[in-house]
Chains A and B, each alone.
Chain A
């Protein structure tokens, strides 16, 4: 199956970036679908200051755009036969985990836009939320190291 030339360094970086964008977008979609719509732990509006509402709007726009841009970058790489095998998985996990940690630390704790759930013992939810993100990030990082050493389980 490896009749295609070995992907260049630039192709590896683009594959990693495209899949990271998709990972961020998918994690944001999980947040919207599971925690907003299905569990209703999160609300359409949590804090009604103009700043909180505007930062919600900006984050939402960026998430939507990253997902679509990531997909189109991937389509382009695929069409040109330049997708680097072994870099899609780590890219996706690094994007997804990175978003989860960012959401848990910056949105929830620093900006205090909203919380994971409005209950006592919130810290348990915070640890689960951020801890999950860190684990996903760590797996992504390990897979990336393997891919860099050329040990990737081929995805072609």
Chain B
């Protein structure tokens, strides 16, 4: 029998809330792109798969399994969740005063600092350096609560990074696309470098994994990360293209 665990219940809850919001929006006669819904649902399914019992078991005894889980949780699921535009959906379902308060919150100084592409990159990719280059990884295997906190950290920082670079949700005070492209290049470079460091120096240390296993995991990280970052890059350039085309037609960008 299939019994969801806590992470899967949370993913299911997120999907339910999202679909309720979509239903209410469309019921009120307002449009909502089915592509957005599809993105979000794929994101929640990715999370559900990442925390499924076989993947969990694979991740427990094999570094490659851990890396697969890490890629799904920290890189691919956030892409789906962010490109589902959940914040825009929320704003459409709130009363005007609450919606305004939410937008004010999004524009507040702490949110602006944390959601700047550079700080988002530092939290996300800096977190990976911390996990794999220090004894934190072996600690997390031995300590279940730390293990869960790290997963949570990568879901949130992954979402933050995707949103800061190219997310469709409203982002007051978002930097120019050149800055975001620059940070994305930095992100791809540091992620690729981490993959190579792990391969060359056989990190994380002290796991008892064979060199072959560590090197395979490092390559999964390198190429898997590439694919996720490529998707984010295409999304960013798509925004650039739409902006250029609107400029050429002499019309302002459509809102949202």
Chain A contacts to B: CB under 8 angstroms: 44-45, 48, 50, 53-54, 56-58, 60-62, 64-65, 68-69, 71-72, 75-76, 79-80
Contact = CB atoms under 8 A, between A and B. Distances in A.
Given A44-B219, A57-B190, A58-B189, A76 B181 contact: no
Given A45-B200, A56-B193, A80-B248, 10 more contacts: A54-B193, A56-B192, A57-B194, A57-B195, A60-B188, A61-B185, A61-B187, A64-B233, A65-B233, A76-B241
Contacts of B17: none
Given A45-B200, A65-B184, A57 B237 contact: no
26 contacts: A44-B199, A44-B219, A45-B199, A53-B193, A53-B197, A53-B200, A54-B193, A56-B192, A57-B188, A57-B189, A57-B194, A57-B195, A57-B196, A60-B188, A60-B189, A61-B186, A61-B187, A61-B188, A65-B181, A65-B184, A65-B188, A68-B233, A69-B181, A72-B238, A76-B241, A80-B245
Interface string B109-126: 000000000000000000
B226 interface: yes
A51 to B, nearest CB: 10
B212 to A, nearest CB: 13
B200 A72 contact: no
Report the 4 A-B pairs with minimum CB-CB distance, sorted nearest first.
Answer: A57-B193, A48-B200, A61-B188, A61-B189
Contact of A64 (B188, B244, B245): B188
Contacts of B226: 64
Interface string B235-247: 0011011001100
Interface of B: 181, 184-197, 199-201, 215, 219, 222, 226, 229-230, 233-234, 237-238, 240-241, 244-245, 248
Contacts of A76: 241, 244-245
A68 B230 contact: yes
B234 A62 contact: no
A45 B201 CA distance: 10
Instruction: Name the residue among A44, A68, A80 with the largest chain B CB count within 10 angstroms.
Output: A44
B192 A57 contact: yes
A135 B189 CA distance: 31
A56 to B, nearest CB: 6
A64 B191 CA distance: 13
Contacts of B196: 44-45, 53, 56-57
Contacts of A57: 188-196
Nearest to A59: B189
B197 A60 contact: no
A72 B233 CA distance: 11
A68 to B, nearest CB: 5
Contacts of A58: 189, 193
A54 B186 CA distance: 11
B185 A65 contact: yes
Contacts of A62: 185, 189
Contact of A72 (B186, B191, B195, B237): B237
B209 to A, nearest CB: 17
Instruction: Name the residue among B189, B237, B240 with the largest chain A CB count within 10 angstroms.
Output: B189
A50 B188 CA distance: 16
A57 B200 CA distance: 13
Given A45-B200, A62-B185, A68 B193 contact: no
A93 to B, nearest CB: 24
A37 B62 CA distance: 24
